[in-house]
Amino acid sequence: MKITVAKSAGFCFGVNRAIEAVYNAIGNGTLYTYGPIIHNKTVTDNLKKHGVESIDNLDGIDEGTIVLRSHGVGEDVYKAIEKKGLNIIDGTCPFVKKIHNIVHKDYEAGSKIIIVGSRIHPEVMGINGWCNNDAIIVESLDEAKNLELKQNEKYSVVVQTTFRRNKFNNIVSVLRERKIDAKIYNTICSATDERQKEAIEISKLMDKMIVIGDKNSSNTQKLYEICKKNCYNTYNVESFEDLVLNIFNRNDKIGITAGASTPSAIIKEVISVMNEIQNDAVEKIEGEEELTFQQMLDESLVTLHTGDVVKGTVIQISNEEVSVNLGYKSDGIIPRGEYSSDATVIPSHEVSLGDEIEVFVVRVNDGDGNVLLSKKRIESMKGMDDLQKAFDDKQVIEGKVTEVVKGGLIAVVNGVRVFIPSSQVSNRFVEDLSVYKGQTINFNIIELDRTKRRIIGGRKALIEKENVAKKEALFSTIEAGKKVTGTVSRLTDFGAFVNLGGIDGLIHISEMSWGRITNPREVLKEGDKVEAVVLDADKEKGKISLSLKDVSANPWVGAAEKYAVGSIVEGKVVRMVPFGAFVELEVGVDGLVHISQIANKHVVKPEDELKIGEIIKVKVLEVNAEAKKISLSKREAEAPEEEATETEAE
C-alpha cells in the first residue's frame, strides 16, 4: 500500500488563527463562539469540554467574551455585541474580512452587490450582512443566466472563498455577456485554490481517495466532488472511526487530503490507521502518554528561532504595522520601520491581506507575546548579494535616491543603502544635489566592504562612457544645415550651451536673433527646449556651432532693393562708437552713420549730436548685403536740396 498525503491538507492559516484565538482565551472568563468557530465537530466538541459554548444569537448573553467564527458575521452582529458591552475577539479569516471591506465600501458607493456562493453558507450570510442583506446571491450557472439585471446600474461581484474556480469563471463569463457595468473581484482564497489544484493532481493518480473533513464543511465537500470526478473510489470521513477498513487492499495507491477545517491530529489518526492495515504502523513507545487534542494541535505548530527566515501570510495591516501568520502559536509583527529601507514606502500600499511574504525573525517574543519580524532585513540580505555580484562583475545597477546628505546622495538598491559621493554623481559639478531626490538612477559599485557595510557607488565613469557613445552616434549623423533639438544646459555672457544628448553645442550670442541683444538671458533660460540649425560640426575638436536664426527670415535678403542707394529712410539710434553711431533700420539690419556724416559741422563725439533711442532720417550711401553693412548719412538726409543747388552752381 502506498499512501500519498496532500501537502496542503488540514488547517489553513485563517482557521488556525481562529482556533488559536479561542484556546488562548480559555480561562479568562465566560467564553462563547458566535456560531461554530469552524466546521469540525471534533474541534467544537473539544471546545465545549473546555466550557466554550457556541451561540447563534445574543439573547440572554449579558457578560463574557464573544469569539467571532472564522466564516465571519454581518455588521449588525458587531453592533449588537458593542451595544451589550461584551468583549469581542475577531476570529474572522483575513480573506473573508477583505470581502467584507470590499462589499461595504462598494455598497456605500451605490453599487448593487452580487455574491457567488451558497446562500445557506455562514460565510455568504456574513458577507451579505455588510450590504444590509440586500445582495443578489448566485449559486449556479443557470441562476446567473436568469438574473434580472439593469443596464443603468452598477454592480460589484464577489465570491465565496471556498468556491470552485472554474465554476466561478463560468458564472463571470455569463455576467460579462450581459454587458452590465460590473467590478469583478476574484476573492477565492489562494490556499483553497492551491488545495483544490493539488487534489486534482493526486486524485488522477490514485486507486482510492480519502477526503477528511466535516460533512457540513463547504471546503471539504468541494474537495470530495473534485476527487470523485477523477477517482471513483473517493470517501469522505470525519475521523478514523468512519473508515471502512475492509475496502482497502495492501496494493492500493491511496491519496489523502483534508478540508481547511480539519485538525492535523485527525489527519494523523487516519494515516496511522491506514498504516496499521499493512502492519507498518510505528508501535507506541512504552510508557508514552496519550496526547490530548490540544497537545496534538500544539505539536502541529511550527518552531521559530531568532534569525530564522520564514514565510507567512499577511492577516492584518493597522497603522502601517503588518501582522503575519507564521503557523506559530503567536502572530508576527512587522513594525513600519522594519518594512523597508526606503522610508517613503507605505506598507499598506505595497502588501494586501492574504499575501505571502518572506520575513526575518528578529525576536521570538517582543515582550507582548508577539514575534518581532523584519522584511527590511530580508531585502538587505538579498540586496547585499546582488550588490556583491554587481561589484564583482562590474555591472550597472539601478537604485532610488532617498536622501541628500552631506557630501553626496543615498540610493537604495533592494533594501541596501549605497552612498554616492558628490564627486561621483556626475561628470560635471552639480550645485544642487536635491534635484536627484526621488529619482531612480544608474551607477556602478566602486567600493564594497561587507564587514563594515561600506558600499560606495559612482556615476562619473559611467556617464563619461555613455557620453562617448552618444557623441559617436551624434557626430555620425549631424551635419551643417541640419536642424537639431536640445536643452539649454548653461548660459554665459557670450552664448548658450545646448545639450544634444551626450555633447553640448554652442549658440553664440550673435546667432540667437537677427535683432540686437546684449545678453543671452534676454532670449533663453536654462532648461529651455530649443530647435537650432547646425552651422558647423568639428568631430576632432568635439565642437558644434548652432544658430537660432531662421534662414527664411533673414532681413538682409533683399536689403539692397529695400534700402536703395540714395533713398531717405528712418531708423533708431541703437549704439554709439567713437567713430560714429549705429542706426537700426529694422530688426536685424543696422547701418553706420560715420561721425563725418552726422552734421554739417565738425563733431567731436557722436553723443554731442545724437541720443540712444532717437529716431532720425538718414540717406543710404552704400549697401553690402553679403557683408551685412550699410553706410548712412544724417547730414545728407537733412539738407539734400541745399547740397544739390550748390553742386549745380559750381
Question: Smallest Cα–Cα separation from 256: which of 16, 13, 19, 2?
Answer: 2
Identity of residue 571 = G
d(CA 343, CA 402): 8
123 as an active site residue: the answer is yes
Q: Are 545 and 506 in contact (CB under 8 A)?
A: yes
Cα–Cα dist 407/456, whole Å: 12
Give me the DSSP letters along 127-149.
Answer: HHTTTTT--EEE-SHHHHHT---
DSSP helix/strand/coil, 568: strand
- CA dist., res. 331 & res. 189, Å (int): 20
**What is the per-residue DSSP string for 412-427?**
EETTEEEEEEGGGT-S
Give the contacts of 53 (CB within 8 A, at least 6 positions apart).
Answer: 31, 32, 33
Tell me the sheet residues that pair with 505. 498
Write out the three cell numbers for 570. 528712418
What three-state secondary structure class fits 376?
A: helix
Q: Are 293 and 267 in contact (CB under 8 A)?
A: no
- Active-site choice (20, 53, 63, 123): 123
Contact criterion met (CB below 8 Å) for 484 and 531: yes
The residue whose grid cell reads 529694422 is: 586
Strand order in the sheet with 65-68: 53-55, 31-34, 65-68, 87-90
User: Catalytic residue positions?
Assistant: 123
